[in-house]
Chains A and B, each alone.
Chain A
Amino acid sequence: MLSITLKSLVRRQFSTTPKALAAKTMTVRDALNSAIDEEMEKDERVYILGEEVAQYDGAYKISRGLWKKYGDKRVIDTPITEMGFAGIAVGSAMAGLRPICEFMTFNFSMQAIDHVINSAAKTFYMSAGTVNVPIVFRGPNGAAAGVAAQHSQCFAAWYAHCPGLKVISPYDAEDCRGLLKAAIRDPDPVVFLENELLYGVSYPVDEKITSKDFVLPIGKAKIMKPGKDVTIVAHSKAVETSLLAAAELAKIGIEAEIINLRSIRPLDTATIFNSIKKTHHLITVEQGWPQHGVGSEICARVMEDETFFHLDAPVWRVCGVDVPMPYTKTLEINALPQPKDVVQAVQKILGKKK
């Protein structure tokens, strides 16, 4: 199963590609699109707004077909004005609607970050539990390909820093369907960080995942592959990197356990700790920058817990290189963690054992 999944990952099969496999597959794009569609069908209060979400069918086609189906009232094209439309979305949530606020990419959410933090995340607490803000901020996050420094940045650590927010960073089609539906139904503000490079990738899905009732719990990680020698914790596209690294490690007799975080805040430390108690080694993998990053937080959580004493070696972080993203192709490739980096980190902490 794993080798099949990895094979499909490496090939980057698209939904239109004929499948050699008998299993049903779904692209991340279709997973997101169907999740939004089903939740809009289910709840009249749910609407989507953002740049190009309606007539253009979505800059990345996540909202494809929704405008035709639901019309101007519930699928709203905005001008290029993030601070304004994020504020409008939050205000409508305060007054009883369930907006899905699409940022064309999360890089542009910095224009609107005041509304994400000050208007959305803090209002419930400031009002002593009176005004909750049920909103989803979503869009592609992190590095795409060849778009240079201002369009290649991971915001997981930025948003996860803030109490009042829930931050989700899904990996595959299952994650995207189950977690986006959960996010839309959630009464609190949720930041939903997608990955552009995964939009077109197909993943196996079963009937449970394609069911309209399918939701995943926010705050629970998923063990993608069990292993006994080392725990590798990752989120978003770095899960793919870790799975590829695990395949390499298997060749040299190292069995890695791969944890897909799914949720950055809350952070499922229980799953991480349990895994460490089994493997006694931990590597974190993320595309974001190292300082105060997701990996740093995981290190701190382990250090502060009894789990620390189960470690046989220091935790090691595999992160994006600590520079703005270059446009240069070879530099860009090397600015993000690759499977070989994960393999190297694992070998480093396992030392002479293998």
Chain B
Amino acid sequence: MLRKITGILPNAVKNASNVKTYATEATVEVKGFKLHRLDSGPATSVTLTKDEAIKYYTQMQTIRRLETQAGNLYKEKIIRGFCHLYSGQEACAVGMRAAMTEVDNIISAYRVHGWTYLMGVTPIGVLAELTGRKSGCARGKGGSMHMYAPNFYGGNGIVGAQVPLGAGVALACHYKGNGGMCLALYGDGAANQGQVFEAYNMAHLWKLPTIFVCENNGYGMGTSAERAASNTDYYTRGDALPGLWVDGMDVLAVRSATEFARDYVTKNGPLVMETYTYRYSGHSMSDPGTSYRTREEIQEVRQKRDPITSFKERILELGLVTQEEIKAIDVKAKKETDEAAAKAKADVEIPLEELYTDVYSNCKEPKLRDCLGYNIQHRVLNKGVNT
């Protein structure tokens, strides 16, 4: 996809009248970080290439479009159950993804459509999972909250449970000595879960390469951070663990922070990184998101802090992209997600026998029970990656 976009660049560059569009690289100053128990922090002066600018913009725009489609499909009652949108928080995921290497891992909670896409699942793989159809990345069996990809461990529905799981993935990296690390993501709501502190504690004792990432979007469901946490400086809540605060609406700041954190945790053990962000939608689709905050507040963030608009303005100003290129990306992202949504709607569900498929990697049950009796033979489609 990226190749196709870069393929149109020569024309765009040739046709551009503004000399600034010839820039292939720029140096950018990102906003200050806040540090806790750290002597030095991430680089505030970062380099951005034209390819990177296009990539990040494309990724953020595609996630925004995916979530718009998800919202629409939910309103059409094609997506069922829970559906938590990431709109407003795109720079967090895209910035972190940009700093990950191939041995790095990520685990998150249930707001993961964007992450699933970033970890290599196609838009149809994401949207068909949401519609519960066969082309979904978990064949429609996991749904909105349970999507997986290589180096991506979900997609977890129990608030906070993914945090020790992430420390465990980091333990595996450490154990194997492969130089990898794990990003363990949770929200400001989950930040108050006891097991989060348990995970901090052990990860620090055992020097597990974990970046504990608190995506602070201001609200745990409808409870504002201030009403839920005695200390809302989430980056300081790791006790002995160092902490780092970053503007989660600035993709380059998040990338810089994650690069720093990656280097730190693989050498020294875990740290806590808070990405300060905002979600435009309610907690889930069943929440209009307006009883505990005002419409004005949401509008203000959209106008002043939107991660996509601000990045677009920046890369245009730097001359890394042209208006035409931006437009082409927008059109392509819309087209791609529109088509994916149409396919996700038209796709079929898996056959009924997959109800009895892959309960066990090595099933020892002679028969599984249907509603009436032990009439069913367990079926195996996959053995799993850990056999």
Are the chains A and B members of one assembly? yes
Q: From B19-27, B194-202, B238-246, give the one contacting chain A.
A: B194-202
B175 touches A219 (CB 8 A): no
For the complex, give the distance between the alpha carbons of A132 and B385 in Å. Answer: 7
Q: CB-CB < 8 A to A87: which residues of B?
A: 161, 163-165, 167-168, 195, 198-199
Determine the chain A residues whose CB is within 8 A of the CB of B169 once the complex forms.
Answer: 91-92, 94-95
Are A88 and B168 in contact (CB-based, < 8 A)? Answer: yes
C-alpha spacing A263/B364, complex, angstroms:
11
* CA A70 to CA B165, docked complex, whole Å: 24
Question: Could you say which residues of chain B place their CB within 8 Å of the CB of A83?
Answer: 164, 194-195, 198
A90 CB, nearest partner CB in chain B, Å = 6
Number of interface residues of B (CB under 8 A): 57
* Chain A residues whose CB sits within 8 angstroms of the CB of B361 once the complex forms: 124, 129, 132, 134, 187-188
| Inter-subunit contact A93/B364 (CB<8 Å) | no
Flag whether B53 is at the interface (Cβ < 8 A): no
Closest B residue to A263 by CB, please name it: B364
Stretch touching chain B among A113-121, A149-157, A221-229: A113-121
Of A84, A127, A133, the residue contacting B148 (CB under 8 A) is A127
Q: Which of A94, A130, A265 contacts B165 (CB 8 A)?
A: A94
Known: A78-B202, A97-B171. A219 touches B383 (CB 8 A): no
What is the bound-complex CA distance between A215 and B72, given in angstroms?
Answer: 54
> A269 to B364, alpha carbons, bound, how many Å?
12
Check A130 against B148 for contact (C-beta < 8 Å). yes
In this complex, which of A164, A263, A266 has the most chain B Cβ atoms within 10 angstroms of its Cβ?
A266
Is A84 in contact with B201, judged by CB distance below 8 angstroms? yes
B146/A126 in contact, CB under 8 A: yes
Instruction: Indicate the member of B157, B164, B368 with the most A CB atoms within 10 Å.
Output: B164
CA distance A320 to B386 in the complex (A): 39
* Chain A residues within an 8 Å CB radius of B385: 96, 130-132
- Closest-by-CB residue of B relative to A82 is B198
Q: Are B171 and A188 in contact (CB under 8 A)?
A: no
Which residue of chain B is the closest to A88 with respect to CB atoms?
B168
Inter-chain CA distance A295–B102, complex, in Å, is 51
The one of A76, A95, A163 that contacts B206, using a Cβ cutoff of 8 Å: A76
The residue that A92 contacts in the complex, of B141, B172, B194, B362, with Cβ under 8 A, is: B172
Residues of A within 8 A of B7 (CB): none
* Cβ-based interface call for B351 (8 A): no
A230 at interface (Cβ–Cβ under 8 A)? no
Residue A192 interfacial (CB < 8 Å): no
User: What's the minimum C-beta distance from B368 to chain A, rounded to whole angstroms?
Assistant: 8
* Residue of chain A at shortest CB distance from B145: A126
Taking a contact as CB atoms under 8 Å apart, the answer to whether B359 and A114 are in contact is no
Q: Of A78, A88, A127, A304, which is within 8 A of B146 by CB?
A: A127
A89 in the interface, Cβ–Cβ < 8 Å? Answer: yes
Closest approach, in angstroms, between the C-beta of B82 and any C-beta of chain A? 14
In the complex, what residues of A have CB within 8 A of residue B374's CB?
269, 304
Please measure, in the bound complex, the distance between the C-alpha atom of A263 and the C-alpha atom of B171, giving whole angstroms: 31
Taking CB atoms, residues of chain B closer than 8 Å to A91 are 107, 153, 164-172, 182
Chain B residues closer than 8 Å to A95, beta-carbon distance? 105, 153, 168-169, 171-173, 182
Does A136 interact with chain B (Cβ within 8 Å)? Answer: no
Please tell me if B380 contacts chain A, counting CB pairs below 8 Å.
yes
| Interface membership of A57, Cβ < 8 A | no
- The residue in chain A whose Cβ has the minimal distance to the Cβ of B197 is A84
A contact residues, range: 35 or more
Task: Tell me if B387 is interfacial: C-beta within 8 Å of chain A.
Answer: yes
Please, which residues of chain B bring their CB within 8 A of the CB of A92? 168-169, 171-172, 175
Residue of A nearest to B195 (CB): A83
Chain B residues, CB < 8 A from A317 = none
- B386 near A131 (CB under 8 angstroms)? yes
A188 is contacted by which of B155, B165, B168, B362 (Cβ under 8 Å)?
B362
Instruction: Assess the A164–B142 pair: CB atoms within 8 A.
Output: no
- Docked-complex contact A130 and B382, CB < 8 angstroms: yes
Known: A88-B202, A131-B148, A187-B387. A47 touches B164 (CB 8 A): no
What is the 8 Å Cβ interface bit string for chain A, positions 133-173, against chain B (1 contact, 0 not)?
Answer: 11000000000000000000000000000011010000000
> A83-B194, A87-B164 are known contacts. Are A129 and B358 too (CB-CB below 8 A)?
yes
Cβ distance B182 to chain A, nearest Cβ, rounded Å: 8
Q: Is B304 an interface residue (CB 8 A)?
A: no
Contact A132 B383, beta carbon cutoff 8 Å: yes
A129/B168 contact (C-beta < 8 A), A76-B206, A266-B364 known: no
Which B residues touch A186, using CB under 8 A?
A: 362
Closest 4 CB pairs of A and B: A91-B168, A84-B198, A87-B164, A132-B384
Sample of 30 A–B contacts (CB below 8 Å): A83-B194, A84-B164, A85-B164, A87-B161, A87-B163, A87-B199, A88-B202, A91-B168, A91-B171, A92-B171, A92-B172, A94-B153, A95-B173, A97-B172, A114-B158, A115-B165, A118-B158, A119-B156, A124-B358, A127-B148, A128-B139, A128-B382, A130-B382, A132-B361, A132-B386, A187-B361, A187-B386, A187-B387, A218-B364, A270-B366
- If A125-B359, A134-B361, A266-B366 are given as contacts, then 17 extra A-B residue pairs at C-beta distance below 8 Å, sorted by A number, are A84-B195, A87-B161, A87-B163, A87-B165, A87-B168, A88-B167, A90-B168, A91-B153, A91-B172, A95-B105, A96-B386, A97-B171, A130-B138, A131-B153, A164-B360, A166-B360, A263-B364
